[in-house]
Amino acid sequence: MATVRLDQKKRAIVRDIPSSYTKALARFFGTGPTNVDLARQQQLAYVHALEANGVAVHRLDADEAHPDCMFVEDQAVVVDGHMLLPTPGHPSRVAEQPPIADFLMQALEGVQTCTMGGEARMDGGDIIRLGNLFFVGRSSRTNDLGIVSLQSLLDFFGYELRVIDIPDHALHLTSICSTPTDTMVLVPEGYLSPSDFGQLPTGCELIWIPSEEAYGCNTIGLPNGKVMVAEGYPAVKKALHDRGLETIEIDMSEIRAADGSLTCCSIFY
Ligand code: CIR
């Protein structure tokens, strides 16, 4: 999940993959998953990588009625112990939320929770955090009313929010972008431009990656300084290695097949 700083990544939830996963939505990077066993193996490797690097992982049960339920990032936005439960932007995904919300409300005892009403829509996958500066994608899943709800939460903390229009050939902001550290943003050429981000705080950097590695721009930075990356994206690896970061590669082929990236598969809380 992209709304916590590196030092806040101590605990995460993931959700098991249902047998119905072959019916998951796929319109962008993926052509639809075909091998549920392989997807489960890849998710297990993902969980092991998190655990091996100091993150305590809780697994929620799969929901057979919701093929996309493993993509928990979209369902809850946790910021400094507060939580926004967005109304997800795709109707088929709305009912995935209650078990995730219930778990987080218990785990984050006394958490201040807000929900969205009316026509507001947002997927958590449209948000990234660079220190205390937030970016939100205005996308096919996240609308202006959803962005207003997020703004209200961030106003409480005094954090700035900048809006980025997501091009039609991408699903979410996190589909094409991530913050492997609290001072770096990985961005693909051909999707976004420097003006989308505006002036970054001193010491922060946009790292441009060739467009053919757009999927690889989604990474998970870990508190120990290592970065989880999808296997098969050499320019992403090199950019991180050049900056002194160690990478952990995860085979994401059957998760990518459903347009899912590394951050989509967990919520840090
Ligand atoms: C969907 O289309 O909603 C899922 N198949 C993929 C969701 C990926 N989530 C994310 O980028 N945060």
- For 124-167, write each residue's pLDDT tens digit: 999 999 999 999 999 999 999 999 999 999 999 999 999 999 99
Fold of 6-268: L-arginine/glycine Amidinotransferase; Chain A (3.75.10)
Q: Is the dihedral of CA 141, 143, 145, 148 positive or negative?
A: positive
191 Rama class: left (phi>0) / alpha (psi -120 to 50) / beta: alpha
C-alpha 63/C-alpha 229 separation (Å) is 27
The residue whose CB lies within 8 Å of the most ligand 1 atoms, and thus the one to mutate among 23, 123, 174, is: 123
Q: Is 166 in the pocket of ligand 1 (CB under 6 A)?
A: no
Average pLDDT, the chain: 97
Three-state secondary-structure class, residue 202: coil
Read off the pLDDT of residues 179-222 as tens digits, 9 standing for 90 and up: 999 999 999 999 999 999 999 999 999 999 999 999 999 999 99
DSSP letter at 168?
Answer: T
Distance 127 CA to ligand 1 centre (A): 13
Distance 96 CA to ligand 1 centre (A): 12
**pTM for this model (two decimals):** 0.97
Closest CA to 127 of 87, 158, 162, 173: 173
C-alpha 180/C-alpha 222 separation (Å) is 8
What was the pLDDT predicted at 2? 78
**Residue recorded with tokens 């991180």:** 240
- Residue spans per domain, the chain: 6-268
